[in-house]
Amino acid sequence: MTIERILEVIGKNNPGADLDLVRLAYDFANEAHRGQKRHSGDDYIQHPLETAYKLAEYNLDMATIIAGILHDVPEETGRTLSEIEKNFGLEIARLVEGITKLGKIKYRGLERYAENLRKMFMAIAEDVRVVFIKFADRIHNLKTLYSLTPVKQQRIARESLEIYAPIANRLGMEEIKGELEDLSFPYVYPEEYKWVLDISKKRYEEQKRFTDRVIKIIQKELLENSSVKIVKLEGRAKRYYSLYQKILRKDMDINKVYDLVALRIIVEDIEDCYRVLGHIHQLWPPVPGRIKDYIAQPKPNGYQSLHTTVFGPDGRITEFQIRTQKMHEEAELGVAAHWLYKDKNIKENLKISQEKLKWIQGLLDEKDNGKTPKHYLNSLKLDFFKNRIFVFTPKGDVIDLPEGATPIDFAYHIHSDIGNKCAGAKVNDKIATLQTPLKSGDVVEIIIDKNRKGPSENWLSIAQTHAARDKIKAALRKSSRLNIFKFFGK
């Protein structure tokens, strides 16, 4: 990687960009890292350059790209943050400081690891751009895992798969999530990776030919029968780790995976999204129950798009995603989309980011609950990093829960009192048991009994989230103490 390639990408995306500060940052970092080598044998400067190149590819703001070049200087060299601030300003210095505070999140015992994760969440809460740099840094580290010992390869890859990729998912950064997963997959599950590559190769080639045929039909339909302007029309192959997860859910049968190559149509405005949907349904009948309007009802991480599955040419099941360019940027980059170079309002961007990151506060609050590091990490994996579903209150409020959550989890998510007095539930206006697994799009109403004393002990086996279980345990302990006091007449 060279600084010229980074400057070329920035210049292509933003012809009027001032590149002088980027060159100065490179000169500063190159001098600071002079003589240092990576485990791969490369000059150390290659790592910050690769990090900055990834940030430039995503067209992020100049401060983030420059901080990417400088991110290892204070920790790996004799140059200080004060020198960075003096040469490049307070904003860039603070971003570099945020990365430096995180240190290297390594597994050195549960307590140290849990504390480092808390530091990451604090850094995200203060300025989310810190985690963009961390993701770019991690992606390059994964690309050079071959130079490390098998033990380190396994640790870094598993950590990326179980912690970093889910954080990217919660931030709506689908592109980065997918890259982290696919780079980690061969190291964490090497046999499964080889198997997926083997069984998918022929199917991908065949599906690509079919997709090209469908694209021609759609283009002809829209050109001849509508005024819709297509910004982009493409077939997008499913990533390998995502495909592996889906095959697991489909009884290990790749023939049951219909979105091996999904068709994505990007148009200029929302009205055109619905017009294109109408044209697709005129061409091919939709599969019942497989139309999803994430424009009217976005996912909790902000994702918007229309999804439809149809009986396409020759009756083959075919999936489409339809969205605007802005929605596409949000889908690929999530909260990072607010930090594209063209959007320079730092205070406004910080405000938007903080609004979208309210869930981070829940992770920080865990610190004050007296939990053991093991409990904390298990809670993260189950409550925050598991695949998410979104359900609705009767008033239409969106509630974000982990996959497999029940009405009990829903009730305690709303409020401890709602959970403690829960007497039943309705899902989509029908009475449901408290152990019913909820699905995305369900409307959930909790039936309250104001005279109820508290939760039942068997709810602990029904609740799927650590948060709900902790609140149930707290209520049971409180009830037990009250009963003891009554017994002794206190």
CATH value at residue 145: 1.10.3210.10
Q: What is the Cα 149 distance to its own chain's centre?
A: 28
**DSSP-based three-state secondary structure for 187:** helix
168 shares its domain with 232: no
Task: Indicate the pTM of the whole model.
Answer: 0.72
> What secondary structure letter does DSSP report for 389?
E
**One domain, residues 286 and 306:** yes
Per-residue model confidence as pLDDT tens for the chain (490 residues): 899 999 999 888 888 888 999 999 999 999 999 999 998 889 999 999 999 999 998 888 899 999 999 999 998 898 999 999 999 999 999 999 888 876 654 544 455 556 666 767 777 777 788 888 999 999 999 999 998 899 889 888 988 887 788 888 878 788 899 999 999 999 999 999 998 888 888 788 888 888 899 999 999 998 888 888 899 998 888 888 988 888 887 777 777 776 677 899 999 999 999 999 999 999 999 999 889 999 988 877 678 999 999 998 988 888 999 999 989 988 887 777 666 655 555 555 555 555 556 666 666 665 555 566 666 666 666 556 666 777 888 887 778 788 889 999 999 999 999 999 999 999 988 999 999 999 877 889 999 998 888 898 899 999 988 888 889 988 988 876 545 444 444 4
pLDDT tens figures, 152-197 = 898 889 888 877 888 888 787 888 999 999 999 999 999 999 988 8
Find the CATH number of the domain harbouring 260.
3.30.460.10
Mark whether 19 and 59 lie in a shared domain. yes
Identify the bridge partners of residue 311 per DSSP, sorted by sequence position.
317
Residue 77 domain-assigned (yes or no): yes
340 in helix, strand or coil?
strand
Residues 158 and 290 placed together within one structural domain of the fold: no
Whether 112 and 196 map to the same domain: the answer is no
Instruction: Find out whether 44 and 54 touch, Cβ atoms under 8 Å.
Output: no
Residue for token pair 């994505």:
264
- Domain annotation covers residue 352: no
- Does residue 343 belong to any structural domain of this protein? no
Instruction: Enter the DSSP assignment of 148.
Output: S
Give domain status of residue 427, yes or no: yes
- Contact indicator for 200, 154 with CB cutoff of 8 Å: no
Pairing of strands 261-267, 230-237: antiparallel
Number of domains forming the structure of the chain: 3
- Residues 210-240 have pLDDT tens digits of 889 999 999 999 888 888 889 999 888 888 8
The answer to whether residues 42 and 172 belong to one domain is: yes
The CATH number of the domain holding residue 396 is 3.10.20.30
Query: Does the residue 347 lie in any domain?
Result: no
Both 78 and 150 in one domain: the answer is yes
In 10 A of CB 315, how many CB atoms? Answer: 10
Residue 486 has a pLDDT of: 47
Please name the residue that has the structure tokens 């983030």: 64
Instruction: Dig out the tokens for 147 from the structure.
Output: 């130079």
Between the CA of residue 248 and those of 17, 177, 238, 320, what are the distances in Å? Answer: 47, 19, 15, 22
Q: Residues for the chain: how many in total? A: 490
**Residue 169 placed within a domain:** yes
- The distance between the two most distant Cα atoms of the chain, rounded to a whole number of Å, is 85
Same-domain status, 195 and 128: no
Residues 148, 43 share a domain = yes
Q: Is residue 168 located within the same domain as residue 305? A: no
In a domain, 418, yes or no: yes
Give pLDDT, residue 483.
Answer: 55
Q: Which residue among 153, 187, 221 closes a domain? A: 187
Domain that holds residue 459: 386-487
Separation of alpha carbons 391 and 264, rounded Å: 26
DSSP codes, 8-40: HHHHHH-TT---HHHHHHHHHHHHHTTT-B-TT
* Among the listed residues 270, 387, 388, the one whose alpha carbon sits nearest the alpha carbon of residue 327: 270
Residues 181 and 200 in one domain: no
**Is residue 134 domain-shared with residue 230, that is, in the same domain?**
no
- Establish if 372 belongs to a structural domain: no
